[in-house]
Amino acid sequence: MKFSLRALRVNAGLSRADVADKIGLTPTGYRRIETADGAGIKVKQFKKICDLYGVNPENIYLQDETENTNDRKEDKDGDNSRDNI
């Protein structure tokens, strides 16, 4: 099972500012990574995040470069299930 950066952070009881401080980013810089599902994340930052949450890299969902967040299909209820934690 793969987890989003947001899900990992929320389950750890951390704020974005907490995570940013622990991995050496500004809160704004971390927010950009988290809300873009990891797009633009550097390897060093990704390793720090894995260490922080104690998870293997393959268990973290990062957006595929070919995936466009604006092209996500909505289910019949108009809910984008991928956005739900």
> Helices 16-23 & 43-53, crossing angle to 10 degrees?
120
Q: Across the chain, what does the average pLDDT equal?
A: 80
d(CA 24, CA 47): 12
The 10s digit of each residue's pLDDT in 18-50 is: 999 999 999 999 999 998 867 788 999 999 999
Q: What is the CATH number of the domain that holds 43?
A: 1.10.260.40
Read off the tokens for 30: 């971390």
Within a domain: residue 70?
Answer: no
User: What's the pLDDT score for residue 85?
Assistant: 43
- Whether 72 is covered by a domain: the verdict is no
Within-domain flag for 56:
yes
Residue-range definition of the domain harbouring residue 26? 5-63
Within a domain: residue 44? yes
Residue 84 included in any domain:
no
Residue 42 covered by a domain: yes
Contact at 8 Å (CB) between 34 and 60?
no
pTM above 0.85, yes or no: no
14 pLDDT band, cuts 50/70/90, is very high
